[in-house]
């Protein structure tokens, strides 16, 4: 009898926790969906908007990876950074080629925006294990955003060579994202 009362008490006490956890999970899912919808609303459908975001992202990934090649002693980080410089340099060249076939004048950024400059400064101020963790975290975030940008533009952007570039580049960005997910934590 005491055992039955104890089980009933434990069940009664854990029910509010389960409800709170369910409510918390639902709130988190709703927030994530809202953030995803907001991110999509900010995604460009025009060539100029896409180019601005893609070029700045590409420059950041190259510059931060060049820094990682110099500063990191972690073999996984070194290999990833080397791959990033090669792949993103190639992507930058392919975007330039695509832009040669676009009607009109498309302004191509030549330097990082303020957000990415601040990220580079933070990375430059880090060293050792802190550098590796910061670099990896920034690359995860950058690739998640790049995949979203290229996915969205390849589906919704203006038809033409830049949209074709986005579609062709997307699998490589997804591969980079996968590499990061499989990389041991620094």
pLDDT of residue 103: 85
pLDDT in tens, 18-46: 444 445 454 545 454 444 444 455 788 89
Residue 6 is predicted with a pLDDT of 43
Whether the model pTM is above 0.85 = no
* pLDDT of 155: 96
Model pLDDT, residue 175: 96
Q: Tokens 């009362």 correspond to what residue?
A: 5
Residues of the chain falling short of pLDDT 50: 1-22, 24, 26, 28, 30, 32-39
pLDDT at 8: 45
């Amino acid at each position: 009898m005491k055992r039955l009362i104890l089980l009933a008490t434990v069940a009664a006490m854990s029910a509010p926790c389960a409800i709170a956890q369910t409510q918390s999970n639902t709130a988190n899912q709703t927030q994530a969906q809202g953030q995803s919808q907001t991110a999509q609303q900010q995604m460009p459908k025009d060539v100029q908007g896409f180019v601005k975001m893609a070029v700045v992202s590409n420059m950041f990934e190259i510059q931060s990876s060049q820094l990682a090649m110099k500063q990191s002693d972690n073999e996984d980080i070194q290999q990833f950074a080397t791959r990033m410089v090669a792949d993103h340099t190639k992507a930058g060249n392919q975007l330039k080629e695509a832009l040669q076939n676009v009607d009109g004048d498309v302004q191509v950024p030549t330097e990082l925006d303020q957000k990415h400059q601040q990220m580079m400064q933070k990375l430059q101020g880090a060293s050792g294990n802190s550098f590796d963790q910061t670099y990896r975290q920034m690359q995860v975030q950058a690739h998640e955003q790049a995949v979203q940008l290229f996915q969205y533009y390849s589906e919704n952007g203006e038809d033409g060579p830049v949209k074709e570039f986005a579609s062709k580049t997307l699998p490589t960005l997804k591969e980079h994202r996968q590499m990061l997910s499989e990389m041991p934590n620094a």
